[in-house]
Amino acid sequence: MKRSRHLLALAAAVIIGAQVPALSVTALAAPRAGAAQPALSVVPKPVSATFGSGRFTLTSAARIVATGAAVAVADDVAGYLRPATGYPLPVTGDAGQAGDVVVKIDHPAAIGGHLAEGYRLAVTPSRVTLEAATAHGLYNGVQTLRQLLPAWIESQTVMRGPWTIPAVTITDWPRYQYRGLMLDVARHFEPVSAVEQLIGEAAGYKINVLHLHISDDQGFRLAINGFPLLTSIGAAGAVGTSGRQSDPGGYWTQADYRALVADAAAHFMTVVPEVDSPGHNNAIIMSEYADPALPSPHSINCGQSNPPQWDYTEDVGYSAMCPSVPDTWAVMTAIVGQLSAITPGPYYDLGGDEVPATLMKPSVYAAFVNKESGIVRRQGKIVMGWADIAGPGVHPPAGSVAEFWQPASGDGPDSVTGREAVAKGMKLVMAPADHAYLDQKYVVTNTSSVPGSLGMNWACPTGCDVSAAYDWNPGSLVTGVTDKNVIGVEGALFSETIASMAHADYMIFPRLPALAEVAWSPSVSRTASSPAYRDFLRRLGAQGARWQFAGLNFYPSTQVPWPLVATGSMVRADAAGSVTGPVAILSAPGFPTSTLTMCDGGLGIGCTISWGDGSSTTGDVSGTNATDTAVNSLYSIFGQHTYRHPGTYHGTVAISVGNLPTITATFTAVF
C-alpha cells in the first residue's frame, strides 16, 4: 500500500518527464555517448553492477512476462509500474519480445550459492530480464528495478516518461538472512492498515522481518480468546504524548493479525511477534489482576506496586509477573499458544529485557524465561528474546536467538550479553541502540534537539543521525561476536514519543535504509571519511524524491546531499491561449520555500520558465515548509503566459537553488 498524503493536487495536469537531475557532481551529467557511466542510486548497494551501453525504455506496449511461481512477482512489478506510467503492462505467459520485462525462476550461476534471496537483473536496450532461484529473490530484484527508474515512478498519479533505465547487469544477494524492522505498537497503537503501509515502504529496502512489539507496560494489543480483559482493560490506553496523561489505545483482533501477517508475507516479510515478559508487562498484570476466571489472580503480580497501577509514562523496570504461580502460566500459555498458532514464521519473541534484580532475583528471572522457553518450543517456535535472556541460569533451547540492544561495543561492560549469547550457542540479531534504535533523536546539542518533540536520547547523547546508522559492522562490533554468530540486523522503533504514523516515518526514514545497507551489502569501511559513505549518501539522497512522490514523511537530514529533482507537467491553454498553473513539480528536501520564493533570480536562486515560443518569465513556487516532525512538501513551480498562436509548445523550467547545479524540467503546453 502506498501513501499519497503530500502529493500536491495537480488538477488535471498530466506530468511530463524531465532529466533526472544531478545526484552529485560526479553523477550530474545526463548520459551521452562517451560520457561517464551513470551512477546507480540503489539502496542497499548491490553486490555487483556492470554497465552496458544504451538504455532500456519502458513503453505503453511493454508486457511483464512470467510463468509459474514468477507470476505473483510479475503482478507486483506491474502493480508498482502502472500508477505512474498509466500503461496497461499486462502479465503474460507468452515468450518475451523486445520491450518486455521478463521475470523468471532460474538458477543464475552468477549468484553462486545465494539461492534463497539472490537475483540477477539484466537490463539491455531491448529488454529487462530478472532471474532468481526463488520468488523472494525475484522480489528483491524488483525492488532494485524500481530504484533504477525516475523518482516519480513512485507517484500514484500518472506522470509522463520517458521511463528509461541504463543498460546494466546487477548480480546481488544479502549479507545477512535477517533484516528486520521492529515496531512498538504497545506504547503507541496503530491499526493494521497503517502497519501495512510501513511494510510496503520497508520492503522497498529489502527488509524481510517485521518484529512486532505487541505488549508492554502501557498496552496489550492482540485479542486472546478466553482472556477478554487483556484487551478491554489492557488495550485501553497508550503512552501519553503532547501533555496528555494517556493516548488512545486499541488492539488487533486475531483476524486483523492474520491479515497483517498475510500482507507481510506478500512482501516476503516474516512477522516475529513479541509479548515482553516477565518484565515490561504491566498491561497484562492490570488486565488479569482481577480476572474472575482465574483462581488466584492477585498472585500474578510481582511488580513494584501492589495493587498494580497504570503508568502511561515512559518509565521502565517496575512491572514483573510472578514465575511460580499457576495463574501466570494460564495467561502466558494462552498467549504463546494462540499467537504461535496464527504466526507462520519460525520465531516467537518472549522479550525478557530489563527486569531489575531488585524486583526479581536473577535466578527467579532465569526460571521464568526457562519455563516460557519450554512453552514456546512446544509450539514449534524458535525462542527469540532481547539478549538479556542469555544471562546466568537461563538455558536457551538450541537455535535460540538473542537480540543485542545495548549501546555497547568491544568488550565494554554492557557488551557481555553478546558473549553470553555466543557461549550458549545462540544466534544474534544486532540492534545496538546507538546505531539501530530508530526512536533516538537525530541531533542533540546544548541548545536544541532534532526532532524537537519526538524521540529519546539515552543511547545517543549527541544524537544518532544517518552516519550512526550506517557506520558499524555487525560482525565485529562486540568482542567475541562474529559473523558466524550473527544472523542479521534490526532497526527498532520504540514508540513512547510517537503519536502518529507520520511521526514513525520521520524517525524511521532515512535511517532504516542505512541499516538495510549494513544488513544487505558486503562489509566495507563505512567511516565518515570513507568513499563508501560518500557514495551511500549520494544514493540515499536520491531516495528523498522517491519518498516525496510516494507521500512518505522523512527527516531531511543535513548529512544527506538531497538533490533537486524536477519533472514537468502537461498544461492546456484556455481558448484565449492563456496558461496558468504548475509547469513542474520540484523535490527539494530540506529547502524551505523562502529559499525559492518567487524564484526571483536573486541570491543565486532562480526558476526561469521558457515557454517554448521564445519568451520566458520567472516562475512562482508553492508548497509547504518543513516542521519539526514533517519534511517539506513537493513544490509546484507555476507561471502565467499567453500564447499567441495555437500549437504544441515544449517549454523548460530551469531551477537553481544555492550552489546546487541547475536542473531543467521539460513541460508541454497545448493551445
Residues belonging to the active site: 354
Least distance from C-beta 178 to ligand TNX, angstroms?
17
Regarding 189 and contact with ligand TNX (CB under 6 A), the answer is no
Are the beta carbons of 379 and 372 closer than 8 angstroms?
no
Between residues 136 and 280, which has the closer beta carbon with respect to ligand TNX?
280
Between residues 494 and 667, which has the closer beta carbon with respect to ligand TNX?
494
> What gap in Å lies between CA 239 and CA 498, rounded to an integer?
9
Least distance from C-beta 196 to ligand TNX, angstroms?
23
> What gap in Å lies between CA 114 and CA 435, rounded to an integer?
27
Least distance from C-beta 280 to ligand TNX, angstroms?
6
Regarding 414 and contact with ligand TNX (CB under 6 A), the answer is no
> What gap in Å lies between CA 345 and CA 212, rounded to an integer?
12
Least distance from C-beta 547 to ligand TNX, angstroms?
24
> What gap in Å lies between CA 134 and CA 533, rounded to an integer?
31
| Alpha-carbon separation of residue 136 from 174, 260, 512 (angstroms) | 12, 18, 20
Between residues 252 and 437, which has the closer beta carbon with respect to ligand TNX?
437
Regarding 494 and contact with ligand TNX (CB under 6 A), the answer is yes
Regarding 386 and contact with ligand TNX (CB under 6 A), the answer is yes
Between residues 183 and 654, which has the closer beta carbon with respect to ligand TNX?
183
Between residues 261 and 438, which has the closer beta carbon with respect to ligand TNX?
438
The binder of ligand TNX chosen from 99, 354, 419, 524 (CB under 6 A): 354
> What gap in Å lies between CA 213 and CA 498, rounded to an integer?
14
Between residues 201 and 276, which has the closer beta carbon with respect to ligand TNX?
276
Question: Site size for ligand TNX, by CB under 6 A?
Answer: 11
Are the beta carbons of 637 and 621 closer than 8 angstroms?
yes
| Alpha-carbon separation of residue 287 from 115, 254, 283, 337 (angstroms) | 47, 18, 6, 19
Least distance from C-beta 313 to ligand TNX, angstroms?
12
Q: Secondary structure of 24-52 in the HEC alphabet?
A: CCCCCCCCCCCCCCCCCCCCCCCCEEEEE
The binder of ligand TNX chosen from 247, 420, 434, 439 (CB under 6 A): 439
Structure-block grid coordinates of residue 485: 554468530
Between residues 327 and 496, which has the closer beta carbon with respect to ligand TNX?
496
The binder of ligand TNX chosen from 72, 456, 532, 626 (CB under 6 A): 456
* H helix or E strand, kind and range, residue 348: strand 347-351
Least distance from C-beta 103 to ligand TNX, angstroms?
40
Binding mask 584-623 for ligand TNX (x = CB under 6 A): ----------------------------------------
Least distance from C-beta 617 to ligand TNX, angstroms?
52
Structure-block grid coordinates of residue 606: 532562480
Q: Roughly what angle, to the nearest 10 degrees, separates helices 192-203 and 254-266?
A: 20
The binder of ligand TNX chosen from 176, 347, 437, 638 (CB under 6 A): 437
Regarding 532 and contact with ligand TNX (CB under 6 A), the answer is no
Between residues 497 and 666, which has the closer beta carbon with respect to ligand TNX?
497
Q: 451 preceded by cis ω (within 30°)?
A: yes
**Which residues in the 241-300 window bind ligand TNX by CB under 6 A?**
280
> What gap in Å lies between CA 646 and CA 631, rounded to an integer?
40
The binder of ligand TNX chosen from 14, 316, 342, 367 (CB under 6 A): 316
Are the beta carbons of 380 and 466 closer than 8 angstroms?
no
Regarding 353 and contact with ligand TNX (CB under 6 A), the answer is yes
Q: Roughly what angle, to the nearest 10 degrees, separates helices 501-508 and 192-203?
A: 20
> What gap in Å lies between CA 631 and CA 442, rounded to an integer?
14
Between residues 266 and 456, which has the closer beta carbon with respect to ligand TNX?
456
The binder of ligand TNX chosen from 368, 405, 611, 635 (CB under 6 A): 405
Least distance from C-beta 405 to ligand TNX, angstroms?
4
Least distance from C-beta 443 to ligand TNX, angstroms?
17
**Cβ neighbours around 290 below 10 Å, total:** 12
Structure-block grid coordinates of residue 416: 557481555
> What gap in Å lies between CA 32 and CA 581, rounded to an integer?
32
Helix (H, G, I), strand (E, B) or coil at 260: helix
Q: 174 preceded by cis ω (within 30°)?
A: no
The angle subtended at Cα 21 by Cα 612 and Cα 62, nearest 5°, is 85
> What gap in Å lies between CA 153 and CA 344, rounded to an integer?
33
Phi, psi dihedral angles at 258 (to 5 degrees): -60, -40
> What gap in Å lies between CA 584 and CA 512, rounded to an integer?
30
Between residues 405 and 472, which has the closer beta carbon with respect to ligand TNX?
405
Regarding 329 and contact with ligand TNX (CB under 6 A), the answer is no
Structure-block grid coordinates of residue 567: 519533472
Between residues 100 and 217, which has the closer beta carbon with respect to ligand TNX?
217
Least distance from C-beta 342 to ligand TNX, angstroms?
24
Least distance from C-beta 42 to ligand TNX, angstroms?
31
**Cβ neighbours around 162 below 10 Å, total:** 11
Phi, psi dihedral angles at 341 (to 5 degrees): -65, -25
Between residues 63 and 435, which has the closer beta carbon with respect to ligand TNX?
435
> What gap in Å lies between CA 268 and CA 251, rounded to an integer?
24
Least distance from C-beta 406 to ligand TNX, angstroms?
8
Q: Roughly what angle, to the nearest 10 degrees, separates helices 362-378 and 326-341?
A: 40
Torsion of CA 273, 275, 278, 279, to 10 degrees: 110
Using CB under 6 A as the criterion, which residues of the chain lie in contact with ligand TNX when the complex forms? 280, 316, 353-354, 386, 405, 437, 439, 456, 494, 496
